[in-house]
Amino acid sequence: MSYPEIEAALREHLHCSRVEKVRPVGGGCINDNYKYITDKGPFFVKVNEDKDALHMFQAEAKGLQALAKAQAFRVPEVYHLGELANGGFLIMEYIQFKDGPVAEKDYKALGKQLARLHSFKDPEVDRFGFACDNTIGSTPQINTWKESWIDFFTARLEYQLSLARDRFSDLYNQARPVVENLPRFFEGINPIKPSLLHGDLWLGNCSMDQQGGWVLYDPATYWGHSEAELSIMTLFSGLPNEFWEEYFQHIPREPGFDQRHELYSLYHALNHLNIFGSGYASMCSRILKKLRQ
C-alpha cells in the first residue's frame, strides 16, 4: 500500500523523482512497515493511523537521535516525520540485515557495545527520565525527570499497575507490598548514575547489518539504571554466556542484582499484560512471588 503523503515527502525532502515499488516489511505489531524503493535508493517507512501516531514517531526519532549521539551502535538515520489524514509516518534509512545465526563473538561484541552505551555520559544529563514521553510497545511511557532513580522507577511501576488494576485486581494487590518497599532492593550498592538506555532491548529490536555490526531500532529511550536494560533481554529468550561475561567485564554486577533483575522484569511483564491480556498474568504472578520472598 502506498500513501500520497509519503510519496510527496520523498519527492520534496529526499529529492526522489519516482517510487518504483512499495513492499510491506514484517516484524512489527504496532506499526505498518514498508520498504519504499525509489530512484534514490530504498527507504524504510513506518506508518500508523492512530491519532497519537505523530507524537509516538516524534518520540521515537528523538530516541534514535539520542542513541546515535552515544556512538556505541549503529542506529537508523531519521530522514523525515510526516502527518497523514489519520495518523503519521516516519521515513528512515533502510538497513539490510544479515541472515543466519549469530556467532558467539558477535554476542560478545553486543555485550561490549551495550556496556559502552550504558557508560556514555552527557554533561547536560544528571537526572532520570527523557526529553519527552514515549511509548513501550503501544503503552505510553512517562519520562518526567526525577532526581532519584527509586522515585522514577516507582512511578514507572505505578503507571503500569494503574492500567492493570481494574482487569487484574489480584495482581495489583500482590504488587502493592513490592512497590511500597522498593528501597530495600537497592541497599548496599553504589549510587546509581543515569545511563542512556534503549529501553526495550531484546533480540527482536536489534540485528546485525551486512558488515557484521549491531544495529538498534524501535527504542523506548530514557536515562535510567543500566541494570534495567538487561531484564527484557532474558524475559522471553536467553543470551549466551559470552554476552554476559563481556558486559560484566565493563560494568560489574552489584550486590542484589538477581532480585533487581526480577524487579525490572516485572515492568516489562506488566506492560505485556496490559497490551496483550491475561496470557501474561502467570508470568507477573511468578515474578511477584520471587520479589516477595
Catalytic residue check, 200? yes
How does DSSP assign 82-124, residue by residue? Answer: EE-SSSEEEEEE--PBPPSPPPHHHHHHHHHHHHHHHH---TT
Number of H helices, E strands in the chain: 9, 11
Give me 186's grid cell: 537497592
Q: Which 8-state DSSP code applies to residue 239?
A: -
126-to-147, 192, 196, 229, 288 alpha-carbon distances in Å: 8, 11, 11, 18, 31
Residues 6+ apart with CB under 8 A from 111: 242, 243, 244, 245, 246, 247, 250
| Enclosing H/E stretch for 58 | helix 53-70
**CA-CA-CA-CA dihedral for 44, 64, 71, 6, to nearest 10:** 30
Partner residues linked to 139 by β-bridges: 136
Residues 6+ apart with CB under 8 A from 35: 21, 22, 23, 24, 25, 42, 43, 44, 45, 94
Q: Find out whether 171 and 154 touch, Cβ atoms under 8 Å.
A: no
From 126, 166, 170, 200, the catalytic residue:
200
- Candidates 254, 115, 268; CA nearest to 186 is 254
Ramachandran angles phi, psi of 190, nearest 5°: -65, 155
Q: Catalytic positions, please?
A: 200
